[in-house]
Structure 1
């Protein structure tokens, strides 16, 4: 399934990762346009919350169709909020507040009334180095959830370690801005918890470097 890169021109605040000599499948290609039939975003509305059926099963094709109707517009909304956050507070400054602010800009997005770690259909689940579920390629506009996630690897010649989703801030939530399959790197817009800085930041997580903790990706469904 193709990967996606929406280059909105915003500054990339993520770490630079070194390339390695591993050969990767050639079928991964970046897509720079929306799929045929993608819905047009409208004026923000506040819809009722819903519960997802526990037995809901969607195929890869159905998940891509949902992404074309909802996810692409959620990405656009999150990108706009990222730019606006340079001069204003987005939401209430929390991870969840940023997600809800972006979802309000997509009137056909299904707002799920479930625990805080569920925002739609689970398309990817990784626990430590073990992938538990992969129902679809990770796409821009998907919702990311991290809990007690420890990453350890290298950026260039320098070793690094990163521990997120724990302590006072609790679990981390964000919206995917780009996914690079060859590097297993997910770029995410998320609320910035550092005082005095831009209120939404762009960060990167490399899935191959996840040693412990939980990394989930949800696809927001259509209302």
Structure 2
């Protein structure tokens, strides 16, 4: 059975929980005491030397990093829909994984960390970054339902959590109606599961 080492309030862990549910995959959740630093303990460092979660175990495979796990699950269990292998379509989907790991992580995700986990950060800067990427997303979604192709892909799963959680970082989504509509579409997907704040 697939095992996911998980922390409930982590948007990156949630991406994987959501993907597992959308694919209808049986799995075991292994809660990690993140606040006590369990992810930095020697047993965890053997699984991920970076001391980060999520970590997914599938048989003999141990894989970490939420974007990498999404790619693995999509190709292993999801067929062409979630991550196509045709070069142009794959490139369009994967570019959003980079945006999730960079612009979204360093914008809305970091702003949320400030409020939810008391992270010391330049709040004005990260909220500005958040609004920059939200404007890009809103304009991109103006004439489409999903980030790429004509159906949901791992691009949507990767970008959704910290965009949806932006209000927890003091960032209103009112100015981004296309983003709000996209969030609502994701919540209506078969197999959707939420997390605190979503």
Query: Which structure has more strand as a fraction of its residues?
Result: 1
Q: TM-score with structure 2 length normalisation?
A: 0.32
Q: TM-score with structure 1 length normalisation?
A: 0.29
